[in-house]
Amino acid sequence: MPTLLVTRRLPPAIEARAAKAFDARLTASDTPMQNVAAQAVGADAVICCPGDVFDAKLIGALPDTVKVIGTFSVGYDHVDVAAARARGIAVVNTPDVLSVATAECAMLLILAAARRAGEGERLVRSGGWAGWAPTQLMGTLVSGRRLGIFGLGRIGRELARMAHGFNMEIHYHDVARMPPELESGAIFHASDSTFLPICDVLSLHAPGGAGTMHWLNAERIAAMPRGAIVANAARGTLVDDTALIAALRTGHIAAAGLDVYEGEPRMNPEYRLLENVVLLPHLGSATTETRDAMGHLVLDGIDAVLGGRTPGNLVK
C-alpha cells in the first residue's frame, strides 16, 4: 500500500478514502504543516493546499520516494512545477470541479459590494439599526451594468453565465480571444485601453504568478469609470492593495469585494478600516459538494500517477 502524506485536515469523505487506499499520514491541523520534507520520509505522494509553499528549496529536500504532489486547488502558483518536474515528481490539481462554486462566490462579492450588504449586516448586528429610511445605505444596481472579466477561463465563463441572468453586458480581457462557442456573446478586448473604461464592474479571474503580479494597479484603476466596483475571487497577488485602498477612499472605486489577499491570511490592515469593502476568508470553493469533488479528483490523479497512468488533471 503506497504512503500518502496530507499536509492539512481534509473533508471527512476524502480522509476516509485516503485511509482506505493508502497508508495515510493525516493531520488534524488546519494550518500549514511544518518540516514537510521530514514528514514525507518514505511517502510516495503528498497532498498540499493553497498557502503551503512548495518552492524549489522544499521540493529539492523531498525524499526520492515522492513521485507525485497533489494540490487541493485548481491554482498551483504555490508549487514550483518546474522544480518538481526536474526531480521527476508529477503535480496534479483540481480543475473544473470548483468553477461553479467560485463563480458563485464572485457574484456574491459583486452583489454584496454593490448593495452595501456588509455595511447593512454590521449595522443590524450592532443594534444600531433604527428602521427603514428612504436614503439608508443606498447602493447601486448590478442588473444592466457592464461586467468586465479579466480572464475568461472556466471560472470566468461560469460567472458570465450567471451574469447573463442579471442582464449584464459581458466584456472580457485575456491573452487571446476565446472561440465563439466559449465566448457566449461576451465582447473581447485585446488591450487595457478599451477594456478598463467599460468596466462598471470588474471581476478578476486570472491565474497568479509573476505575469499578473499587481495587475490591478493605480494606472489601471484610473482608467476605470468613477464609481466602479471590483471583485477578486482569484488570487490576492492580482491587486496592488495600496492602489485599491486609495481608490476606495476617494470613491473612484465605489466598493470592492475580496475573497483573497496577498500574503493571506495576513492582509493589508487598511482594508479593515474601510466600510466600502466586503472581506471574505477565501471561501471561493467552500461548499461541501465542491470540496469533496476536489478531494476525489486529486486522489484520482495521485492514483493514476502511482499506477503508471497519465491523469487528466496533470499540471503540464
Residue 311 domain-assigned (yes or no) = no
Tell me: do 137 and 251 sit in the same domain: yes
The pLDDT tens digits along the chain (316 residues) read: 999 999 999 999 999 999 999 999 999 999 999 999 999 999 999 999 998 999 999 999 999 999 999 999 999 999 999 999 999 999 999 999 999 999 999 999 999 999 999 999 999 999 999 999 999 999 999 999 999 999 999 999 999 999 999 999 999 999 999 999 999 999 999 999 999 999 999 999 999 989 999 999 999 999 999 999 999 999 999 999 999 999 999 999 999 999 999 999 999 999 999 999 999 999 999 999 999 999 999 999 999 999 999 999 999 9
The vertex-262 CA angle with 123 and 206, nearest 5°, equals: 100
Q: Which of 169, 183, 262, 264 is catalytic?
A: 264
Give catalytic status of residue 282 as yes or no. Answer: yes
Q: Which of 145, 154, 171, 235 is catalytic?
A: 235
CA distances from 286 to 20, 261, 267 (A): 25, 16, 20
Residue 173 domain-assigned (yes or no) = yes
Q: How many domains does the chain have?
A: 2
Tell me: do 107 and 93 sit in the same domain: no
Cis peptide before 265 (omega within 30 of 0): yes
Tell me: do 27 and 47 sit in the same domain: yes
pLDDT at 233: 98
Domain extent, residue 234, equals 99-279
Give catalytic status of residue 252 as yes or no. Answer: no
CATH number for the domain harbouring residue 146: 3.40.50.720
Residue 316 domain-assigned (yes or no) = no
Tell me: do 87 and 173 sit in the same domain: no
Give catalytic status of residue 146 as yes or no. Answer: no
Residue 261 domain-assigned (yes or no) = yes
Tell me: do 124 and 259 sit in the same domain: yes
| Residue 83 in grid coordinates | 522544480
Residue 315 domain-assigned (yes or no) = no
Q: Which residues contact 2 (CB under 8 A, 6 or more apart)?
A: 22, 23, 44, 45, 306
Q: Which of 282, 291, 296, 309 is catalytic?
A: 282
Residue 243 domain-assigned (yes or no) = yes
Is residue 159 classed exposed, middle or buried when 0-12, 13-18 and 19+ CB atoms within 10 A define those classes? buried
Tell me: do 82 and 203 sit in the same domain: no
Of the candidates 288, 301, 284, which has an alpha carbon nearest to the alpha carbon of residue 18?
Answer: 301
Tell me: do 86 and 103 sit in the same domain: no
Q: Which residue has the cell 470541479?
A: 97
